[in-house]
Chains A and B, each alone.
Chain A
Amino acid sequence: MIKSLKDGLRIGLITGFIFIFLVLIGFPSVASNIIGDVLGNMESLDENLRMSAENLIIFIGIIGFIAGLSVFKKDEDISWLGSVLGGLAAGLSSGLLSGLVIYLIGTLDLSGVDFRTYLPNLGSEQIRYLLFYSTPLAASQTYLLYFTTLSLIGALVRKAVSELSIYKNKVGTAASQFSGKLGSSKFRGFLDNKFVLAALVVLVGVGLYFLPYAWGSYWNYIMGTVAIYILLGLGLNIIVGYSGQLVLGYVAFFATGAYTFALLTAPQPHAIGLNLWLAVLISIVVSVLTGLLLGLPILRLRGDYLAIVTLGFGEIVRILIRSDLLTPLTNGPKGITDVGQPIWRGQVFSDINYMHLLMLLVLAGLFVAKRLKDSRTGRAWIAIREDQTVAQATGVDTYKYKILALLLGAAFAGLSGALFASRNQFTGPEDFTLMVSVNVLCIVIVGGMGSLPGVILGAFVLKGVPELLRELADYRLLVFGALLVVMMIVRPEGLWPARRRKFKEQDIGSANLQQKTPEVEV
């Protein structure tokens, strides 16, 4: 009992402080706007009307519910009374804490204190919204009520779920286990069916095809950026995630690709006017050559040394591009405008065309990366990542494989660089700062080293979420940083950690299926 109370109190206090932090930076209204967008219950675009109170309550409810859920760990054995107590303790403490702060802020605001001096997002309008346009006392009571109720529900749900799984385990005699297994293998068999699989692929394909039409140009632009970063992430994932070489100057290959493409297709400064698809190919080749140039001398280095040298390389490329020396060649700091754009059915590529092209290339990139991972080459890379000395003594030519990883990664960067320049119709040295390398590295690490779904998820989180948070203005990067920190604490191995390929289970699974099918009919 005491332990449940303690656990509840601990979680409640943490939740309370997080909520207060969110209130201070004006996050609740952003969140309720997002909820409103999801539920579609916003009638007007008028900012004041947008802030409907029910969405705020939903937001509070979600936070309370999560608090209730997290009072107890997954496999913890807690009585019903214990979970009620824990949930109540968490809800009451977080509700009291946030209610108190809301009350204080509300009262101070009424007495004429202007919070905006210290907290730019906490204006009077915002505060009145947080108070549900009622008195501070009434509002804080509402907070207390919803936090407590939802946290209690959360804790009870957790208890019910664990009860269910225990029940399953207890009744898990041969029969029920058998039916469970059959269920899953049936599902697997269902997916194995070629027609079903084909239908699913077609369905997803059609969905992806029509998505850009539904998005509108703003979201096409954001999602295009995400797609370009997925491509970059896939490339760097080969270098860092598979072969374990910490390359910090990845942006150099991105820049090489973008500039090669731009110089070959833009009217200024060279007016070469090469065929675009040929230019894309050449951009990839030039990036790969840059990789070779960098890789041959430095891939004998390991760990920290490699990181520092490549870090320098990335900066050198950017500085060279904008240097006086190369200005006649690269247009220097001004950058290159009117970069070539592909033509489709007599018209210049629209944002929808670009989106389709990017989707196709991401799928192709995933395909290539996946096949590489599960091959002799991929195993050699991962062995190098795990223990380079032993990998070499096991017969892997580590130098060759490290260079191969770098070149393939550079090819991905060259391709995305060309697309980037073409889509923006512009490329300049300031597009290729160190932050690009850091962002891509974050995508790989946050997603999960060596994991392909991780790269996609990471790109959405790192390039998409900041867009969702745009309304937070000044606090955007603060919240984003906090999110990253929380993420790395909660899931240090990444959002979607890499899974090892299974060799045995497939065989055993299908063997079981064959053996057991007759039994079902009996």
Chain B
Amino acid sequence: MNQPAIRTEGVTKIFGGLTAVDNVDLFVPERSISSIIGPNGAGKTTLFNCVSGFYVPEEGEIHFFGERIQGLPTHKICSMGIARTYQNIRLFKEMTAIENVLVGHHPRMNATWFESILRNKRYLQEEQSAVDRAMELLDYVGLSELADTPAYNLPYGAQRRLEIARALASDPSLLLLDEPTAGMNPQETAEMTNLIRDLRDTKKYINLINRA
């Protein structure tokens, strides 16, 4: 009925002599939960990295709502609406939980460095709404009590959820979750599954999940 969120055509990524991703055609519809599955070393994460802009594929094209995105720097891709999490959690460790989410909100803010010295009205308003939004997201993933805790002090499951909150803070239309339940016990996995379903149903995100 409408455009697919992600469409790839013949994406190929080669590392030296190794073809990690070979001629992949991918089609991710809107408001869906899609999953890439495969054994270790199949190139799932490489494909992820191609979509989020870490790698530029040698061949093929990647379209995001009809726009070509390969070759763009990662921050551009992020501000277009693709946010991701990482297989091995990569939070800003020294920053608190809420600051991590605020960094996620960065592409949706406009304050310049000069405004932040002046603290004019526009800056203060934007900052306040960003903090409110961040608290909201932390509440959503169940971390509002730990907002001022440095990320390195959070328990494992909380770190994974914080990564999702950080990704959501950029108001993405596509969420790339790289092995979101890796290393989790059955209960945590169930919670994560519910969270992902809820993301699709109530927040209308499209999820692409990488799962071994």
Contacts and interface: CB of A to CB of B under 8 A. Distances in A.
Interface of A: 368, 371-372, 374-380, 382-383, 385-387, 389-398, 404, 408, 500-505
B83 to A, nearest CB: 8
B106 interface: yes
Contacts of A393: 52-54, 74-75, 77-78, 84
Contact of B95 (A398, A404, A408, A500): A500
B78 A383 contact: no
B103 A394 contact: yes
Contacts of A374: 116
Contact of A382 (B79, B95, B144): B95
Interface residues of B, number: 44
B116 A372 contact: yes
A387 B74 CA distance: 14
A501 B135 CA distance: 15
B103 A504 contact: no
A387 B92 contact: yes
Contacts of B95: 379, 382-383, 386, 500
Contacts of A505: 148
B148 A391 contact: no
Nearest to A396: B106
Contacts of A500: 94-96, 99, 148, 150
B210 interface: no
Identify whether the interface residues of B are mostly helix, strand, loop, or mixed. Answer: helix
Of residues A395, A396, A503, which shows the largest number of chain B Cβ atoms within 10 Å of its Cβ? A395
B117 A504 contact: no
B48 to A, nearest CB: 11
Interface of B: 52-54, 73-75, 77-79, 83-84, 86, 90, 92-96, 98-99, 102-104, 106-107, 109, 111-113, 116-117, 119, 123, 126-127, 130-131, 135, 144, 147-148, 150, 166, 170
Given A396-B106, A500-B95, 17 more contacts: A372-B116, A375-B113, A376-B111, A380-B106, A382-B92, A382-B94, A387-B90, A391-B103, A392-B73, A392-B75, A392-B78, A393-B54, A394-B106, A395-B78, A395-B106, A500-B96, A504-B147
Contacts of A375: 111, 113, 116, 123, 127
A379 B103 contact: yes
B93 A386 contact: yes
A503 B75 contact: no
Contacts, number: 115
B46 to A, nearest CB: 15
Nearest to A506: B148
A503 B127 contact: no
A377 B114 CA distance: 9
Of residues A372, A374, A376, A392, which shows the largest number of chain B Cβ atoms within 10 Å of its Cβ? A376
Nearest to A368: B117
Contact of B148 (A372, A386, A408, A502): A502
A503 B148 contact: yes
A174 to B, nearest CB: 21
Contacts of A380: 103, 106
A48 B77 CA distance: 75
A379 B135 CA distance: 16
B43 to A, nearest CB: 19
Given A379-B103, A395-B106, A396-B103, A390 B148 contact: no
Contacts of B131: 503
A386 B52 contact: no
Contacts of B144: 504
B98 A395 contact: no
A321 to B, nearest CB: 31
A383 B92 CA distance: 6
A386 B91 CA distance: 8
Nearest to B107: A395
A394 to B, nearest CB: 6
B109 A376 contact: yes
Given A500-B148, A504-B147, A394 B78 contact: yes
Given A393-B54, A395-B170, A504 B98 contact: yes
A385 B99 CA distance: 14
Nearest to A383: B103
Contacts of A385: 94
Contacts of A397: 73, 75
Nearest to A370: B117
Contact of B116 (A378, A386, A391, A502): A378
B112 A377 contact: yes
Contacts of B98: 503-504
A395 B79 contact: yes
A408 B54 contact: no
Contacts of B79: 395
Give me the 8 closest cross-chain CB pairs, A-B, nearest first: A375-B116, A395-B107, A386-B92, A395-B78, A377-B113, A393-B74, A383-B103, A504-B147
19 contacts: A371-B116, A372-B116, A376-B116, A376-B126, A376-B127, A379-B102, A382-B92, A383-B106, A386-B92, A387-B90, A391-B92, A392-B75, A395-B107, A396-B103, A397-B73, A397-B75, A500-B94, A503-B96, A505-B148
